[in-house]
Amino acid sequence: MVLHCSIRLQSTRRKKVPMLSDSKTRSCLYTLFIVASLFCGAYFINSTVIAKEYKDRLIRLGASETMRNKDSMRCKDDCRPSGSEHLPKGIVVETSNLEMQPLWGPIKNYKNTTPAMNLLALAVGIKQKEIVNRLVQKFPSKDFVVMLFHYDGVVDDWKNFTWSERAIHVSAVNQTKWWFAKRFLHPDIVAEYGYIFLWDEDLGVENFDPNRYLSIVQGDGLEISQPALDPVKSAVHQPITARRKRSKLHRRMYKFKGSGRCDENSTAPPCVGWVEMMAPVFSRIAWRCVWHMIQNDLIHAWGLDMLLGYCAQGDRTQKVGVVDAEYIVHLGLPTLGAGLKNQASAQS
């Protein structure tokens, strides 16, 4: 229809123009024609664009609607993880855990007996053997599965610690905690663990009790947390992580001078909703989110800390916090990439 309009206009112009004798009328008509055809053209272009967009949207809507219908139809039958479609019903399990099974004899039926277990995952090098030993011994074996990520490739030298046998050892040379976590802590594998401690190795735990820590975190609804750092003995990089005496936990910090001020109205990290990547503790549901946020090529996780709020399962000013009552010492020892880290922080 629109197309007709412009064609007709053009043909009238062609026919009529030679017949007109008065030049004034002619130029007037001419202007009119131009204006009219401009309008026509604009309308034409506009309507095609709109029509196309609308059509696209309709198609998309239709497609997603059919997909959704199909999905829900299929899900009504049985909604299965991709790749398991050909397996008989009932044999597909979506999650696993890090439980070791005996070679012989009855298999532990953890489904019926499982206590709420948590996971301690540490990136370790043999040089920090003694510190790691003290750290692991703080975590009762009945409540925690221990996983060691060996970034120096040394595994055998850990064997003479009694807890070493029940730990899961993963070794890959010169890889960071985040590299290991992305590859070996898939949310479906660690789905049974209530809380995941993803810690560095250079932490002193004399004043830290994991179960007391967890009862605070649970009681106060922290999905992402860290123990506070002893400000006297620790290398404190961020004031929000420093321990406050006579406090159970805190969620924000105050800074009234200089740049980057923080007050009670601040809503963004690092004033509030922020923990450091050295000793984070994630709830199961927060970890599922964080795991997805860890990009495949993430190495040191600088910057990830600022984004953790996305995984707080709601208000990050409430669900992210630092626990003062159970605190640790950041020893600041040279560990994997420590030289690099200093260089980078000097630059920034």
Ligand X SMILES: *[C@@H]1O[C@H](CO)[C@@H](O)[C@H](O)[C@H]1NC(C)=O
Contacts with ligand X by CB under 6 A lie at 160-161, 173-174, 263, 265
Other Cβ atoms within 10 Å of 151 Cβ, number: 23
- State the Cα–Cα distance between residues 27 and 159, nearest whole angstrom: 99
Considering beta carbons, is residue 7 or 340 the nearer one to ligand X?
Answer: 340
At 188, which helix (H) or strand (E)? none
Which residues are CB-neighbours of 307 under 8 A, at least 6 positions away?
Answer: 293
- What minimum distance in Å lies between the beta carbon of 300 and ligand X? 14
Please compute, for residue 263, the number of CA atoms within 13 A of its CA located in the half-sphere on the CB side.
Answer: 5
Which residues are CB-neighbours of 99 under 8 A, at least 6 positions away?
Answer: 108, 110, 145
Considering beta carbons, is residue 307 or 338 the nearer one to ligand X?
Answer: 338
Considering beta carbons, is residue 113 or 265 the nearer one to ligand X?
Answer: 265
- What minimum distance in Å lies between the beta carbon of 157 and ligand X? 8
The partner residues of 121 in beta bridges, in order of sequence, read 147, 198
Which residue lies nearest ligand X, judged by its C-beta? 160
At 183, which helix (H) or strand (E)? helix 177-184
Considering beta carbons, is residue 106 or 260 the nearer one to ligand X?
Answer: 260
Considering beta carbons, is residue 306 or 340 the nearer one to ligand X?
Answer: 340
- What minimum distance in Å lies between the beta carbon of 82 and ligand X? 35
Residue showing tokens 């003479």: 160
- State the Cα–Cα distance between residues 126 and 157, nearest whole angstrom: 7
- What minimum distance in Å lies between the beta carbon of 127 and ligand X? 13
- What minimum distance in Å lies between the beta carbon of 216 and ligand X? 28
Three-class SS state of 159: coil
Considering beta carbons, is residue 44 or 161 the nearer one to ligand X?
Answer: 161
- What minimum distance in Å lies between the beta carbon of 301 and ligand X? 18
